[in-house]
Amino acid sequence: MPNSDRVLVTGAGGFIGSHLVEALVKSGFNVRAFVRYNSRQDWGLLSQLDRETLTRVEVIAGDLQDAGAVDDAMRDVRIAFHLGALIAIPYSYKHPDEVVAVNVLGTLNVLNAARRHKIERLIHTSTSEVYGTARYVPMDEDHPLQGQSPYSASKIAADKIAESYCRSFGVPVVTVRPFNTYGPRQSARAVIPTIITQALSSGRVALGSLEPRRDFTFVMDTVSGFLKAATADCAPGATINLGTGRDVSIRELAELIFSILGRPLEIDTDSDRLRPKDSEVDRLCSSPAMAAEVLDWRAEVSLEVGLTRTIAWIREHLADYRHVGQYTV
């Protein structure tokens, strides 16, 4: 992929999206960033990129639900990374209509635009949540799908629409399925910054269930997987997990963070943070075998190293985290 080619990133103002934009710019690509419009001209986490990087990014504000806006963003694009979505599971309990509209219809608009403009590759972002609770581990790409929340169901629908456009119309889709990405810039909506911000601010940490197990992947490893998926010689229609193959419980995760901080802390169970019993995903643990074979990708950053880097970043930016300890969806 020559560096003069234009690439599009939807969801560019989000956690993974902002890191992907930064990596693409550093690699010399011509980046167009699609962000959700608001009257404040707020570009989300793109605003945390340095000024020199931002001067090399073409930012387009719009809405994934607006087919015309998506089509305009796709013009003269060779490769598109589709990360735009509403991702909060608790929010999907409260507003399932909006989550389905953005995640499903928004993806449909991206696929139609990619088809119309005949782009060479579309990297579609899935999530490990589409698998539901593990029926076996490690979980490979053939693991059954199960919608255990409106969010996960919306992503299953988006994945299947992407699959159908590849099979029916030849849209060159490659689906990447990240497992619980974490790292600098992540909001306190996610469990790792929730633990860290509370631990740095007080002696107690409020959490929901401590038993679910997750496969945590450092954000720069996830970004590396996206970049390799854009250039690898893999067949259109491929779905590829991006995970480490190691899982830990939320309790073990909290204890590891406390250990890195070097002090004991107390954990309180907050009933507001508990998910409905049949909706909670008990375990996710990726098989990284296909990513290694098809993309030559492996997670390089251990959980201990990634948490240390994340703690250091959050410590420097703790003032930016508002309402520490308060549960938000």
Q: What's the start-to-end Cα distance of the chain, in Å? A: 39
DSSP 102: I
Q: Determine, yes or no, domain membership for 80.
A: yes
DSSP 283: B
- pLDDT tens digit sequence for 305-325: 999 999 999 999 999 898 787
Confidence category of residue 26, pLDDT binned at 50, 70, 90: very high
CB 50, CB 18: distance < 8 Å: no
d(CA 165, CA 244): 29
Nearest CA among 242, 246, 239, 238 for reference residue 219: 242
> Looking up tokens 């779905």, which residue turns up?
239
> Looking up tokens 């974490």, which residue turns up?
182
Question: How many other CB atoms are found less than 10 A from the CB of residue 143?
Answer: 21
Q: Determine, yes or no, domain membership for 187.
A: no
pLDDT at 257: 97
Res 82 pLDDT > 80: yes
Q: What's the count of helices (H) and strands (E) in the chain, helices before strands? A: 12, 13
Reported pTM? 0.95
Q: Determine, yes or no, domain membership for 274.
A: no
Nearest CA among 129, 76, 121, 79 for reference residue 103: 129
Q: Determine, yes or no, domain membership for 60.
A: yes
pLDDT at 281: 97
CATH number at residue 224: 3.40.50.720
Q: Determine, yes or no, domain membership for 248.
A: no
Question: How many other CB atoms are found less than 10 A from the CB of residue 157?
Answer: 18
Q: Determine, yes or no, domain membership for 57.
A: yes
- pLDDT tens digit sequence for 140-178: 999 999 999 999 999 999 999 999 999 999 999 999 999
What sign does the dihedral 214-11-31-40 (CA atoms) show?
A: negative
Q: Determine, yes or no, domain membership for 272.
A: no
Q: Determine, yes or no, domain membership for 305.
A: no
Q: Total domain count for the chain?
A: 1
Tell me which H or E stretch contains 266: strand 266-269
**What is the rounded (10 degree) CA torsion for 247, 250, 251, 256?**
70
Confidence category of residue 40, pLDDT binned at 50, 70, 90: confident
pLDDT at 215: 98
Task: Tell me the residue range of the domain where 10 lies.
Answer: 6-181+217-242
pLDDT at 272: 84
* Per-residue CA distances from 190 to 13, 88, 139, 201, 203 (Å): 16, 9, 22, 17, 19
